[in-house]
């Protein structure tokens, strides 16, 4: 039996316009592995399903600590306790509303400008929870290193198991697979028609979300949200 993977994500507050849009767009809520019908966009249903398949499997989220298997000797209970303690040191904050953008051919919602608090939170999650991460297997590492990466990103794979951390981190909520230029315009229009107030309301960052995936072909599912308590200042 394959061990589950875990990840720390940002997911929008359940009563927000951003959450309502994302869950509708992907046809699933984060705590539910059941795939519901996708919204009717007037596009070819098979292609629509293919375009959102990967984003749908991972759930509507922005990555803070990329997916990992638990290190030997570590338990989910220990991970949970560490997240609770960590969350006490971070105050909740508000980010400007996200904007639809092209991220290397993928369509995603991103912050309109850099938000230092978001970047600091992601950086701290990568460092603080790395003691719970099992080293990547040779196959996992080879798959990562086969992609076009900078030397700094290749070093990050070796050290952190993932290339897009720290200087290369970009906060984003993925909506599609990589698209060609012509198709991208079509999907941009489709997304904009569904956004409602998702790109108008400020984005509240009030919790860390622990997700799990088991087995590897199944969706990532929300395990628990951990409120940021603001009882101290995180020092790393």
Residue 33 confidence (pLDDT): 83
State pLDDT tens for residues 34-69. 899 999 999 999 999 999 999 999 999 999 999 999
Q: Domain map of the chain by residue range?
A: 5-227
* pLDDT band at residue 194 using 50, 70 and 90 as cut-offs: very high
Q: Do residues 68 and 128 make contact, with C-beta atoms less than 8 angstroms apart?
A: no
Q: What is the mean pLDDT of residues 230-236?
A: 56
pTM of the predicted model over 0.85: yes
Of 232 and 205, the one with more pLDDT:
205
Residue 235 confidence (pLDDT): 42
Distance CA 84, CA 88 (A): 6
At the fourth CATH level, the homologous superfamily of domain 5-227 is Cyclic phosphodiesterase (3.90.1140.10)
Sign of CA dihedral 189, 195, 201, 207: negative
Residue 130 confidence (pLDDT): 98
Residue 2 confidence (pLDDT): 78
Q: What is the mean pLDDT of residues 67-81?
A: 97
Name which of 199, 196, 204, 25 is nearest 98 in CA terms. 199
Work out the mean pLDDT of the chain and round it to a whole number. Answer: 93
Runs of H (alpha helix) within the chain:
17-26, 45-58, 76-88, 116-128, 138-145, 151-160, 181-194
Helix (H) or strand (E) segment spanning residue 73: none
Of 197 and 217, the one with more pLDDT:
197
* pLDDT band at residue 3 using 50, 70 and 90 as cut-offs: confident
Residue 77 confidence (pLDDT): 97
| pLDDT reading at 216 higher than 80 | no
């Amino acid at each position: 039996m394959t061990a589950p993977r875990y990840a720390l994500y940002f997911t929008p507050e359940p009563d927000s316009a951003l959450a309502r849009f994302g869950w509708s767009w992907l046809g699933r809520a984060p705590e539910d592995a059941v795939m519901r019908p996708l919204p009717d966009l007037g596009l070819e249903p098979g292609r629509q399903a293919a375009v959102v398949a990967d984003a749908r499997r991972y759930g509507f989220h922005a990555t803070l600590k990329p997916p990992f298997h638990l290190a030997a000797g570590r338990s989910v209970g220990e991970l949970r306790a560490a997240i609770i303690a960590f969350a006490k040191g971070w105050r909740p904050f508000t980010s400007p509303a996200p904007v639809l953008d092209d991220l290397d051919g993928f369509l995603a919602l991103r912050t309109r400008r850099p938000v230092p608090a978001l970047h600091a939170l992601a950086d701290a999650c990568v460092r603080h929870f790395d003691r719970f991460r099992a080293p990547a297997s040779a196959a996992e590492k080879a798959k990562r290193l086969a992609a076009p990466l900078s030397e700094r990103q290749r070093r990050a794979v070796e050290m952190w198991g993932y290339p897009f951390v720290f200087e290369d981190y970009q906060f984003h909520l993925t909506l599609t697979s990589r698209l060609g230029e012509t198709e991208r315009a079509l999907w941009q229009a489709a997304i904009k028609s569904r956004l409602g107030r998702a790109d108008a309301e400020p984005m509240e960052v009030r919790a860390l979300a622990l997700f799990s995936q088991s087995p590897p072909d199944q969706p990532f599912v929300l395990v628990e949200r951990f409120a940021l308590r603001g009882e101290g200042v995180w020092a790393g």
